[in-house]
A and B are shown apart, each in its own frame.
Chain A
Amino acid sequence: MASAFEYAPAPESRAIVDIAPSYGLFIDGEFTEAADGKVFKTVSPASEEVLSEIAQAGEADVDRAVQAARRAFEKWSALPGAERAKYLFRIARIIQERSRELAVLETLDNGKPIKETRDADLPLVAAHFFYYAGWADKLDHAGFGANPRPLGVAGQVIPWNFPLLMLAWKIAPALATGNTVVLKPAETTPLSALFFADVCRQAGLPKGVVNILPGYGDTGAALVAHPDVNKVAFTGSTAVGKQIAKTVAGTRKKLTLELGGKGANIVFDDAPIDQAVEGIVNGIFFNQGQVCCAGSRLLVQESIQDELLDSLKRRLSTLRLGDPLDKNTDIGAINSEEQLTRITSLVERGESEGAERWSPACELPTSGYWFAPTLFTNVTQAHTIARDEIFGPVLSVLTFRTPDEAVAKANNTQYGLSAGIWTEKGSRILAVANKLRAGVVWSNTFNKFDPTSPFGGYKESGFGREGGRHGLEAYLDV
């Protein structure tokens, strides 16, 4: 960073968001205490400041919420699609109106930069509700036959990396298709889901249609196991996904899983280099790399390796890490101490296995959970950091010589969520994309999302699709 031109700090004001000292569970349209009175604290990962105390749902609360959702289901599913659409459109508009507030809240609770919550997360959240609102009265024409029926009560468990966006991905299609919802947000990021509960009240959504139960893994497990839940949707780690699959096996519950990934970002020698560098940065440093479809493996053609790595390192040196509420910040805080420990240990593993570690000169704040953008070169397929999902700002660089080798290496993973191709040659984009076993393949871009575009995994990245027309199927009896 040039020392001559230091940008003045430009922090977004916190005053726009009013965080209460404590929050209850949202069941049947009301905020209530947990039955056993348990609470936990949610902290700002950038400062370790306690933001609020949150009621922690136990088994009895899960039962209450599922029953409320069951009661609400009768009326909600009987509404004409156009009526359900009205509520969804209303929710979408309220989210737009309150987007600045929600963006600041999300940044405080999650640690991601305000420019991402403001410019990526919140517009997408609203877009998902608008998109699925549009589908609510057209389900007969979605390609699943005439009059497809909703499933019933959906139990949904979402992660902490995109708290509000994952909520939108889950709730919007569920409500559009006539299901009711019990959703458990992650224990480190429950606030935006609780604010969403308030949005539902503001929109006049009938009681019990949406229920929010903050809690830890055991809350999620109780929800998934509840006998009166008809559909389970989970986004999170592969390990937990496997447990859920076991729990659900043998029941009549429908299941979709969006799990881990180890996306390959393939750069051919005729790629638009400068834009590829931006795409690599966006692929792995967006949301501090805490993205299941992150392009965490860079596969670069050997002939341009040096040129590309020089450009990439130079670019990483301009990334601005620090206060997530500052509009100039590119890299925010890691979501939790636990996650920081995991990243640190995997990076140490990478070093001990012989990969070469590089980070730009980067001062880390003294409080909060931080990890500098990191690049590993001399990585091979055999290294742990080329196989395990790190879920942090850590890029592993591998090389290839031919398109076939690139495809073979890209597919040589237990995951299959995303991949990227960088080349100026259109025919190569199509040829390679067809051979990649990944749910999303981006060409000459990365980490671009749209509600109309289905998203989901191959192999241990899970099954089922969210988004698009395909996303309706998971919530319909087809």
Chain B
Amino acid sequence: MSTAAPHALADVTASDSTLRRFLHGLPGVDPVGLEARAASLGTRSIKTTAKAYAIDLAISMVDLTTLEGADTPGKVRSLGAKAVLPDPTDRTTPATAAVCVYPDMVPAAKAAVAGSTVKVASVATAFPAGRAPLAVKLADVREAVSAGADEIDMVIDRGAFLAGNYLKVHEEITAVKEACGDAARLKVIFETGELSTYDNIRRASWLGMLAGADFIKTSTGKVAVNATPANTLLMLEAVRDFRAQTGVQVGVKPAGGIRTTKDAIKFLVLVNETVGEDWLDNHWFRFGASSLLNDLLMQRQKLATGRYSGPDYVTVD
């Protein structure tokens, strides 16, 4: 995994002005067209075998998340158990991709998923505001990594981005990536709702990828507008173009607000028809969601039994 900008674009990050020129030279985004495309992909009809495939795929892509101030080791332990075996009544149910917790909960999470394929992700870097000195953020990351986190979800400094200090954002991401070392993959959260325009989201996507992000992620789930089909489509286009230009593949993680199987399937269709099967596994695509999993499990049970049994037939966490 490279920690600096890929060779093909090495000059871009030479200075604030080269970086700005590059980011502002990216093709614009027409909001109407983008949203129309996302909506039209949402009308694909996914049924029977395609639906069964999509549900299992979606379960395997979930980053089962608890990010509450009230999180306890007990809560994290039960979350971990659920991630490993989401539906105890049907052992063919795939495990989720990861559990995602605050840094201090990493040891508890690590213990809870020990021996399984489930990864532990941690939202280090002064999540969700990101308003802390870089040294504090890096310490946060190092703590999480040394406690065994396999993945770090970092938030960018939206203030710096909106002020046009792209190089500062770039340097922060690079520093965090370095702190992750080879031990952890880095997901970079843009908080798209705060970046406000699609042009900004495309620029942020490229900025994150130039700085070595392994994943680009829409949002923290803590603001009003989180993942949408349109902003996820835009980020998928960005990772597709980035790979075409540099050969480096980057993952995508929509997070926040995806609650139903129907919604999740729409996102999978976006992946399928924008970047294709190269991204259709949990190494390259994730859902940041907590309530989504139960709906997926209920729909999965319905496909298996022909009956919809309701929320009491899946675990609360």
Q: Which residues of A contact B (CB under 8 A)?
A: 1-8, 10, 115, 119, 270-275, 278-279, 310, 318, 326-328, 424, 444-445
Interface status of B30 (Cβ within 8 A of chain A): yes
With A3-B277, A7-B45, A424-B28 in contact, do A275 and B33 touch (Cβ < 8 Å)? yes
**How distant is the Cα of A262 from the Cα of B37 in the complex, in angstroms?**
25
**What A residues does B44 contact at CB under 8 A?**
7, 327-328
A-B contacts, 29 listed (Cβ < 8 Å):
A2-B272, A4-B277, A4-B280, A5-B54, A5-B268, A5-B277, A5-B280, A6-B49, A7-B44, A7-B45, A7-B46, A8-B45, A8-B51, A271-B27, A271-B28, A272-B30, A273-B27, A274-B27, A274-B29, A274-B33, A274-B37, A275-B33, A275-B37, A310-B244, A328-B45, A424-B28, A444-B32, A444-B33, A445-B33
Chain A min CB distance to B232 (Å): 13
**How distant is the Cα of A444 from the Cα of B53 in the complex, in angstroms?**
36
Whether A278 lies near B33 (C-beta < 8 A) is yes
**How distant is the Cα of A119 from the Cα of B45 in the complex, in angstroms?**
14
**What B residues does A278 contact at CB under 8 A?**
33, 36-37
- Fill in one digit per residue for B207-225: 1 if any A CB lies within 8 Å of its CB, else 0: 0000000000000000000
**What B residues does A318 contact at CB under 8 A?**
273
**How distant is the Cα of A318 from the Cα of B54 in the complex, in angstroms?**
18
Whether A2 lies near B43 (C-beta < 8 A) is no
Interface status of B143 (Cβ within 8 A of chain A): no
Residue of chain A at shortest CB distance from B280: A4
**How distant is the Cα of A151 from the Cα of B46 in the complex, in angstroms?**
52
**What B residues does A4 contact at CB under 8 A?**
53, 277, 280
- Fill in one digit per residue for B34-49: 1 if any A CB lies within 8 Å of its CB, else 0: 1011000001111111
Residue of chain B at shortest CB distance from A118: B43
With A271-B27, A278-B36 in contact, do A7 and B277 touch (Cβ < 8 Å)? no
Whether B28 lies near A272 (C-beta < 8 A) is yes
In the A-B complex, the 8 residue pairs with the closest CB atoms: A275-B33, A2-B277, A10-B45, A424-B28, A275-B30, A272-B30, A273-B27, A8-B50
- Fill in one digit per residue for B270-284: 1 if any A CB lies within 8 Å of its CB, else 0: 001100110010000
Chain B min CB distance to A150 (Å): 39
Q: At the interface, is chain A mostly helix, strand, loop or mixed?
A: loop
Interface status of B237 (Cβ within 8 A of chain A): yes
**How distant is the Cα of A2 from the Cα of B280 in the complex, in angstroms?**
9
Chain B min CB distance to A450 (Å): 14
Whether A8 lies near B46 (C-beta < 8 A) is yes
Chain B min CB distance to A170 (Å): 28
With A5-B53, A5-B272 in contact, do A445 and B32 touch (Cβ < 8 Å)? yes
**How distant is the Cα of A2 from the Cα of B57 in the complex, in angstroms?**
14
Chain B min CB distance to A255 (Å): 37
Starting from the known contacts A7-B46, A115-B43, A279-B33, 15 additional A-B residue pairs (CB-CB under 8 Å) come to A2-B276, A5-B50, A5-B53, A7-B44, A10-B45, A119-B43, A272-B33, A274-B34, A274-B234, A275-B30, A275-B32, A275-B34, A278-B33, A326-B45, A444-B32
Chain A min CB distance to B41 (Å): 10
Chain B contacts with A in 44-67, Cβ cutoff 8 A: 44-51, 53-54, 57
**What B residues does A279 contact at CB under 8 A?**
33
**What B residues does A328 contact at CB under 8 A?**
44-45
**What A residues does B50 contact at CB under 8 A?**
5-8
**How distant is the Cα of A353 from the Cα of B89 in the complex, in angstroms?**
66
Whether A272 lies near B29 (C-beta < 8 A) is yes
Whether B43 lies near A272 (C-beta < 8 A) is no
Residue of chain B at shortest CB distance from A2: B277
**What A residues does B49 contact at CB under 8 A?**
6, 8
With A2-B276, A274-B27 in contact, do A327 and B45 touch (Cβ < 8 Å)? yes
Chain A min CB distance to B51 (Å): 7
**How distant is the Cα of A8 from the Cα of B303 in the complex, in angstroms?**
14
Chain A min CB distance to B56 (Å): 11
Residue of chain B at shortest CB distance from A327: B45
Chain A min CB distance to B53 (Å): 6
Chain A min CB distance to B183 (Å): 30
Residue of chain B at shortest CB distance from A10: B45
Chain B contacts with A in 224-253, Cβ cutoff 8 A: 234, 237, 244
Whether A275 lies near B45 (C-beta < 8 A) is no
Chain A min CB distance to B305 (Å): 19
Whether B28 lies near A270 (C-beta < 8 A) is yes
Chain B min CB distance to A332 (Å): 16
**What A residues does B32 contact at CB under 8 A?**
275, 444-445
**What B residues does A10 contact at CB under 8 A?**
45, 47
**How distant is the Cα of A327 from the Cα of B40 in the complex, in angstroms?**
11
Residue of A7, A270, A271, A424 most packed against chain B (CB within 10 A): A7
**How distant is the Cα of A357 from the Cα of B45 in the complex, in angstroms?**
32
**How distant is the Cα of A347 from the Cα of B94 in the complex, in angstroms?**
50
Chain B min CB distance to A425 (Å): 9
**How distant is the Cα of A310 from the Cα of B216 in the complex, in angstroms?**
24
Chain A min CB distance to B71 (Å): 35
**What A residues does B46 contact at CB under 8 A?**
7-8
**What A residues does B237 contact at CB under 8 A?**
274
Residue of chain A at shortest CB distance from B281: A4
**What A residues does B53 contact at CB under 8 A?**
4-5
Chain B min CB distance to A320 (Å): 9
With A2-B280, A3-B277, A274-B237 in contact, do A444 and B30 touch (Cβ < 8 Å)? yes
**How distant is the Cα of A24 from the Cα of B313 in the complex, in angstroms?**
59
**What A residues does B268 contact at CB under 8 A?**
5
Residue of A5, A115, A445 most packed against chain B (CB within 10 A): A5
**How distant is the Cα of A326 from the Cα of B244 in the complex, in angstroms?**
33
Residue of chain A at shortest CB distance from B276: A2
**How distant is the Cα of A276 from the Cα of B268 in the complex, in angstroms?**
23
Chain A min CB distance to B274 (Å): 8
Chain B min CB distance to A388 (Å): 30
Residue of A6, A272, A274, A279 most packed against chain B (CB within 10 A): A274
**What A residues does B280 contact at CB under 8 A?**
2, 4-5
**What B residues does A271 contact at CB under 8 A?**
27-28
Residue of chain B at shortest CB distance from A3: B277
**How distant is the Cα of A4 from the Cα of B49 in the complex, in angstroms?**
11
Whether A327 lies near B54 (C-beta < 8 A) is no
Chain B min CB distance to A317 (Å): 9
Whether A272 lies near B27 (C-beta < 8 A) is yes
**What A residues does B276 contact at CB under 8 A?**
1-2
With A2-B280, A7-B45, A8-B48 in contact, do A275 and B29 touch (Cβ < 8 Å)? yes
**What B residues does A115 contact at CB under 8 A?**
43
With A2-B277, A272-B27 in contact, do A8 and B33 touch (Cβ < 8 Å)? no
**How distant is the Cα of A1 from the Cα of B277 in the complex, in angstroms?**
8
**How distant is the Cα of A270 from the Cα of B26 in the complex, in angstroms?**
9
**What A residues does B48 contact at CB under 8 A?**
8
**What B residues does A275 contact at CB under 8 A?**
29-30, 32-34, 37
**What A residues does B57 contact at CB under 8 A?**
5
**How distant is the Cα of A424 from the Cα of B54 in the complex, in angstroms?**
37
**How distant is the Cα of A424 from the Cα of B26 in the complex, in angstroms?**
11
Chain A min CB distance to B19 (Å): 19
